[in-house]
Structure formats: structure tokens, C-alpha cells
Structure 1
Amino acid sequence: MKFKKIYIEITNDCNLNCYFCIHNKREVKYMSMDEFKIVLDRIKGYTKYIYLHVMGEPLMHPFINEFIDYASKDFFGNITTNGYMLEKVVNNKNIRQINISLHSGVNIDKVFECVDILRKNTIINYRIWVKNDGLIDKLKSKYNTDIRDGVKLCDNVYVSMKEEFIWPDLNNNINNSYDVCYGLKTHLGILVDGTVVPCCLDSKGDINLGNIFSSNLSDIMNSFKYQSIENGFKNNKRIEELCKHCGFNKGR
């Protein structure tokens, strides 16, 4: 397989407005089932793992369970969610992993109830982006263990403590032409309108490599632009301006 994973944005709509997420003015859209089928058909053979997220909250999609079930024929489906709508997928047994980005406003007891059911068939990873003693205390009380990065809380349930990073943006103060990046090596992203991007951090589609709805992935990958970016990354060189303004690896 070419990629370890491919990110598919089934919607860019979200029910929260978190300060650590980048916000843009893309038109709100929900991918149709027909569009989703086109995406899966054109990435088949390039990966076995799909992540139904770039921006937006995937559980807001009215056909989230249908998408997951359809994809399970050929792929291992993974979701990243804020946890507010977990009950929508609580009985779905076709999800490989759910990453739950915990926030202070979430009903943590409701999340725990859903996780107790989901973990029978699905790997659960709690993500804490901003240190929150209240959430950490609740996790510690629930699972009776110290909370630190990478800890296994119980069967199929883990926690990761993530550091905030600076999202790539042409207007930020970062200017770094050389750095390690795994875009186009381990993964790529597909936005809700079909735009193919080098990674899940290109939230606006600034680096448009082509459109999966109108082109095969092989044609996109053989394009001059794709090849130039990929060859640059192989030499730890950032070709695109947006990549030069990415702070994901800064301080790592």
C-alpha cells in the first residue's frame, strides 16, 4: 500500500468553535453517498485505513453510519470527534478507532457511557490538547490510574496528551524551507469538495493537487505539482509556500 492512511473530510461543518482549531470561510458542505463511493473507489489499493476527518465534526453527517458500514467492505474506518454526538455511532461495530478530542464543555459522563459500549469493538483514544485538570481528574477517577501520554486506561482505551501547534497559514510568522514532513509519504487528504491535498493540515485546500471526483488518484499522483512536492519532502525541503509556514514540527 502506498499510504498508511488517507483522510477524507465528509463534512467541514462543526458544532463547536474551538480556539485551537483553525477557521476558514469555505462553503459548508456534506459529502453525498455517491461522492463518498467515488472517493473510496479511487483510493482503493492505495491504503487500508481511512480517517473521516480533516476539518469539521464527522458525526454531524446524517449518514455517518451508512458511510462507515459501506467503507468497512474494503477499509478500516477511523473517526476523530469532539465527543458531543457519540451516541450516534454507539452501536456501530465497524469502526476501528475513535479519537475523542476532549473539551471542558463536553458531558464527560455521557462520553464515558458511550465509550463503555464502544470499546467492546472499537479502539478509543482520548486526546487532550490543552491541559485541563478537571478533565484529567475525571479520567483518573473513572479509570483509577495516573493520566499521562500514551497510557492504556483499560482494554481498548488509551489517552494521549497533545501539544498545541501552529497551523500552516500564509499569514503567520513561520518561514521554514527545510524540515521533516510525512505528507504524501504516509498520508494525504481529500476535502469535502474532492480537492486532494498533501496532508490533513491544509484546511483551506491551498495546495490543490487535483480533484478526486474528476480525476483518478494515479493521474493526480503523476502530475508535475505532486511529484515536485513529493520529491522535495524526500529531501526535507518544503516546496510550497504553505508548507514553509507550517508549525506542526516546530519544537518537536
Structure 2
Amino acid sequence: MQISFPPVVRVEPASACNLACRHCPTGTVKMKRGVMSNALFNKILNEVVQHSDSLRAIVLYHGGEPLLNKDFVSWIKMLRSKLPNVYIKTVSNGMLLSEEISNALIDSGLSSVEFSLDSTSPEINDYIRRNSKSSTVIDNIFKFIEINAAKNSPVEISISSTQFIPSSAEFNPINTTPSVPVWLKNTFGPSMNYKVFGAMQWPHFPSTEFSVRRFGDSSLNEIYNNNCDHVESKLTVRSDGTVVPCCYDLTSQIPLGNLITDSISQIWNSDAYNKLRKEISTSSPSGICKDCNVIKNEKTFLLSPI
């Protein structure tokens, strides 16, 4: 049964990024980039407040670096003041995380922050995540941890790590989750909250930087998982107001409406959204959903470049 309002709303503070990661459309595809306006954010804020009873979480992240938006911290404060019980999360590459910004984020009412460091060594991380320097990110994260502890703050801290598949190893990422890289465990210790993912190919972004390997039953290639929690329980709005199906649509391949002209409720319950849900539920997805590694049986992973 379709719910009338999404329990999770994902908001993109900035579609621009200070990095140019080799595996990410944001870092490599030519597209319009910018930051969300205060007017649009306030419109979103007013509507989610009206539906606070059904709202579980606000995720302030999509494809760009949130800290490029100068109003980002003030937005978190506004959300927290009006939504005291809602979980508020963000993701950052950590390069812009000064001591001043760390203090402001920790004091803002943020529930959780996730920092990104990838691959099996700092050298490969810096190669893949162009314009990033792992030593700087690590120093910034440790300062954030120190300030967070000194304030006895409840902000949850985690490290997300995308792991590229070794070309020589007999490793099937479908059956086994990649382990936490030794260099990260040695750096942050075993008690850090790690989120490790296998590096999948983006559905609308054939890789030119990486070799790929497919896992799963190719004979089932056209048979899909008919369940996608993104279209059933999460709404994603880009910095320009465009609503897209999920976190994999970084270039607005499937625009479902725009919050500049319509409301969250109108778009969430629109014919376009319901058509997409029906396509997925009947195992007949179109557009980028057709090639999505989340619902396809045969999945495409990126191999380590080094």
C-alpha cells in the first residue's frame, strides 16, 4: 500500500563538488552544478514540518559536497529547531572540514555524519578521489572526533569506504561484503563505525577509467528484483529542485517533477512516480532503472585500478 508522504527525504545542498572522483558521475560528467537556494530549502522545510508525524529522517546529501553551500549549517539548525525528533544525516568528503566548521556542525543538531575514504590504501584513495588528500581528511576527521568528544556530543561518526574488486582474487562481492581495509582499521581503530561497499558501476555511467567484472547469473539478466525501497519510502530532491528516483540518479536521468513549482506530496503521489513504481513492481523497469545493479540479477563491479 502506497504511503502518502515519504518517511525519508533526501535534499542535495550542493550539486557541485570540490573533488573529481574517477568512479563518480559528479566528478566526471559535464553537467550544470550549483547550490540549493534558501527559498527552495525553506519551501521544503515548511512542507516536511507539516508532515513531521510521518517523517523519520532528512538526509542532506546527494551527489555534491554539502559544505560548498555556505548556508548548510544554518539549515541543519532550522531543521532541528522545527523537527526535534527527526534523524538528520549528512555525508562529506572531509576536505573542507575546518575546526570552525566542525564546531558548527557538532552544535547544529546534526544526528550523524559519514566521511568517505576509499580503496585499500591511502595512495589508491588519492588516485581515485582526485583533489582529495587522505592525510588531510584523516587529520580533519580526528579533529572532528576530538571536538565531538570534548562537547560530549551525540553526533554519530562513521567512515564509508567504497572497495574496488581485486582483478586477481577469487572474490564474489555478491556473496561476501568487502572487509574494512587494513589501513582504515589501523588509522581509526576497530571501534569506528565502518560502512563498506563494493564499487558498482553507475547505471547511466559506463566506466572509462575502470575495468569491470560481472557477477551473478547472466541467464537471469532480464529478471529483476521487483522491490525498490527508494521509490517506496524515499524522495530525493536535487539542488535545482528536480526530484529523481534515488541516490543513483546523479544527473537527473528520470525527472519526476520539480519542487520549485510543485509540492513534495504532489510529486510523491503523481502519475509519473506511480508509473515508475508499477514498472519496478512488475519487473519491467525502464531508463536507468533497467540497468540498476540494485535490482538486476547480474551486477557489474569496478576492478581496482592499481
With the shorter chain as reference, the TM-score category is: 0.7 to 0.9
**Alpha carbons of structure 1 residues 219 and 101: separation in structure 2 relative to 1, 3 Å:** same
Q: Which residue of 2 aligns with 1:149?
A: none
Q: Is the 8 A contact 2:180 2:196 kept in 1?
A: no
Is 1:159–2:197 an aligned residue pair?
no
- Count matched residues: 240
Q: Distance in 2 between matches of 1:112 and 1:138?
A: 13
SS in 2 for 1:185: helix
Matches within 5 A, 1:1-252: 2-23=5-26, 24-44=29-49, 45=51, 47-72=55-80, 73-74=82-83, 75-87=86-98, 88-92=101-105, 93=107, 94-103=109-118, 104=122, 105-106=133-134, 107=136, 108-118=138-148, 120-130=153-163, 136-137=182-183, 139-143=185-189, 145=190, 153=191, 157-169=192-204, 176=222, 178-179=224-225, 180-233=227-280, 235=281, 237-249=283-295, 251=299
Structure 1, gaps ≥5 residues long = 146-152
Q: Distance in 2 between matches of 1:19 and 1:186?
A: 30
SS in 2 for 1:220: helix
Following superposition, the deviation at residue 48 of structure 1 comes to: 3.1
Q: Which has the higher helix share?
A: 2
163-172 vs 56-65, greater mean Cα deviation: 163-172
Structure 2, gaps ≥5 residues long = 123-132, 165-178, 215-220, 301-306
**Alpha carbons of structure 1 residues 214 and 137: separation in structure 2 relative to 1, 3 Å:** same
Following superposition, the deviation at residue 55 of structure 1 comes to: 0.6
Counterpart AA for 2:10: Y
Q: Distance in 2 between matches of 1:54 and 1:177?
A: 28
Q: What is the TM-score when the length of structure 2 is the normalising length?
A: 0.69
Q: Distance in 1 between matches of 2:95 and 2:203?
A: 27
Share of identical aligned residues, percent? 23
Q: Is the 8 A contact 1:9 1:52 kept in 2?
A: yes
Q: Deviations over 1:40-97 (max 9, x none)?
A: 2233415231111111100111111111111112243211111112231334331100
Q: Distance in 2 between matches of 1:31 and 1:21?
A: 20
* RMSD value, Cα: 2.9
